[in-house]
């Protein structure tokens, strides 16, 4: 098959979605399928990529580490004509996700969408974040699902969530698989030596993009509380992002900065080594649909301590392969880390064996086979016409575009006024409006 992956984020960007697409793409190609990836430009992108089409993008949107792709489908025409796709697979409902929809309709091809993200957890990157905006984002993602021919949910809990929200398109659970053999071995002692971590220290580990939606300020406070009671313990964090400053601040405030080790972004081999340096993996995000790093950590034989949340609860089983915590409190999380540390050796080994067994259930080979089976089924079925739904979607997009421009303009105007020490233009406007002609007020 010729498969087109359309995504707003891809390598060298670090994050779960980018890694998921890279993992599936590699496995599909290994099995003899062709894959064309359509993704935004990112700083540091390789100049020798094969079958990757890059589109222009706005970098570091609103202070985040994301790129906002400019959905210009005309740039793809020549590449798609040459590639002759069979399946269009979208990984976002917005931006290039809109391009994926239009391409699928133009070529009359099946459109698959993976609901990677709980989008309502990311509205803090948008001006005027509010509960209404979260509801709006949920509705938009649900509408997009219903314009597709197949939806992949990374976990059972996300499948249930989509059904509750009114998704009527067929939904299949297809997690991102883990390359178990890649994480089964690693040079843990070497990592400890390079990072200045004593070999006999109990090491709590964390791997993630460091961002507010990952709940890492809470995680840092919980791990710091644990470290205060266990002087030989240390904390190793792999990843980069805006929340790095929050983590540093927590450890500086507690006087524990000498036991915090920030490894930055690691390549695949370095990441496996880092996992094998750890004694337990700590995870506090509640915005995940799956949490790929959890299965990677388990593939390295690590027990996991995590907060109960969609996606996470499909992998972590309390007191079987780690601890799954309902209570989001620093004390509870700290005590769970202490529970792991204080286990008898035979009980700890049982947790490690259970973690390895769980990771095996999420192997890349099995999840890729499931996805390819669904692709093949779609190709054998007649596509359902969704002309009316498409027209309604276009109307919604036009409304969003207008509203976004209004919101953006108001936000920028208010920000400029505040920076200059003057009141926003709206203040005092009524006092002056009758003293200006239309030309003076800028209408002409």
For 9-26, what is each residue's pLDDT tens digit? 888 766 778 889 999 999
Confidence band for 64, pLDDT divided at 50, 70 and 90: very low
Confidence band for 77, pLDDT divided at 50, 70 and 90: confident
* Mean pLDDT of the region 100-115: 93
Interatomic CA distance for residues 93 and 232, integer angstroms: 46
Signed CA dihedral, 31, 35, 41, 47: sign only: positive
pLDDT per residue as tens digits for the range 293-352: 999 999 999 999 999 988 899 899 999 999 999 999 999 999 999 999 999 999 999 999
| CA dist list (Å): 109 to 180, 255, 273, 385 | 33, 58, 42, 11
Q: Which of 155, 153, 192, 148 is nearest to 171 (CA)?
A: 153
pLDDT per residue as tens digits for the range 226-236: 999 999 999 99
Does position 417 have pLDDT exceeding 50, yes or no?
no
DSSP per-residue letters across 83-107: H--SEEEES-SSTHHHHHHHHHHHH
Confidence band for 421, pLDDT divided at 50, 70 and 90: very low
The strands making up 234-238's β-sheet, listed across from edge to edge, are 260-264, 234-238, 203-207, 280-283, 304-307, 322-325
Average predicted confidence (pLDDT) for the chain:
83
Residue entry with tokens 């792709």:
69
Residue entry with tokens 């109960």:
308
Does residue 281 contact residue 294 with C-beta atoms inside 8 Å?
yes
Strand partners, 17: none
Entry field: residues in the chain = 444
Does residue 59 contact residue 67 with C-beta atoms inside 8 Å?
yes
Q: Which of 119, 113, 121, 120 is nearest to 174 (CA)?
A: 113
> CA dihedral in degrees (248, 251, 252, 257; nearest 10)?
-90
Does residue 215 contact residue 283 with C-beta atoms inside 8 Å?
no
Interatomic CA distance for residues 350 and 230, integer angstroms: 23
Domain annotation for the chain: domains and CATH numbers: 2-177+366-381 (3.40.50.2000), 180-362 (3.40.50.2000)
Q: Which of 104, 109, 83, 114 is nearest to 7 (CA)?
A: 114
Interatomic CA distance for residues 135 and 146, integer angstroms: 17
Would you state the pLDDT for residue 288? Answer: 77
First-last CA distance in the chain? 56
Does position 31 have pLDDT exceeding 50, yes or no?
yes
């Amino acid at each position: 098959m010729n498969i087109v992956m359309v995504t707003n984020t891809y390598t060298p960007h670090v994050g779960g979605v980018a890694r998921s697409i890279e993992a599936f793409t590699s496995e599909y190609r290994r099995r003899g399928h062709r894959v064309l990836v359509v993704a935004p430009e990112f700083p540091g992108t390789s100049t020798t990529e094969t079958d990757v089409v890059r589109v222009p993008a706005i970098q570091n949107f609103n202070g985040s580490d994301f790129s906002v792709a400019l959905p210009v489908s005309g740039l793809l025409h020549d590449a798609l004509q040459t590639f002759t796709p069979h399946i269009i697979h979208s990984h976002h409902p917005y931006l290039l996700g809109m391009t994926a929809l239009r391409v699928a309709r133009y070529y009359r091809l099946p459109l698959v969408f993976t609901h990677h993200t709980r989008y309502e957890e990311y509205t803090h990157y948008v001006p005027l974040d509010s509960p209404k905006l979260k509801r709006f984002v949920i509705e938009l993602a649900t509408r997009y699902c219903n314009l597709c021919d197949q939806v992949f949910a990374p976990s059972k809990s996300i499948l249930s969530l989509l059904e509750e929200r009114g998704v009527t398109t067929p939904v299949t659970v297809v997690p991102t698989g883990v390359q178990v053999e890649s994480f089964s071995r690693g040079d843990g002692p070497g990592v400890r030596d390079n990072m200045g971590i004593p070999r006999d220290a109990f090491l709590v580990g964390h791997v993630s993009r460091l961002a507010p939606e990952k709940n890492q300020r809470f995680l840092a406070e919980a791990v710091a509380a644990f470290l205060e009671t266990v002087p030989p313990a240390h904390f190793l964090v792999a990843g980069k992002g805006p929340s790095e400053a929050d983590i540093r601040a927590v450890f500086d405030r507690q006087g524990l900065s000498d036991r915090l080790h920030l490894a930055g972004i690691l390549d695949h081999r370095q990441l496996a080594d880092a996992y094998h340096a750890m004694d337990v993996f700590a995870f506090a995000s509640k915005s995940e649909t799956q949490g790929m790093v959890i299965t990677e950590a388990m593939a390295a034989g690590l027990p996991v301590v995590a907060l109960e949340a969609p996606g996470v609860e499909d992998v972590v089983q309390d007191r079987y392969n780690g601890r799954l915590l309902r209570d989001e409190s620093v004390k509870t999380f700290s005590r769970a880390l202490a529970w792991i540390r204080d286990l008898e050796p035979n009980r700890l080994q049982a947790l490690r064996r259970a973690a390895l067994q769980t990771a095996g259930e999420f192997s890349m080979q099995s999840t890729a086979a499931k996805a390819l089976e669904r692709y093949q089924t779609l190709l054998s079925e007649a596509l359902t016409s969704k002309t009316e739904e498409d027209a309604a979607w276009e109307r919604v997009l036009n409304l969003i575009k207008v509203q976004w421009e209004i919101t953006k303009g108001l936000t920028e105007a208010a920000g400029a006024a505040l920076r200059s020490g003057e009141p926003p233009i709206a203040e005092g406007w009524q006092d002056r409006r009758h003293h200006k002609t239309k030309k003076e007020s800028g209408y002409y």
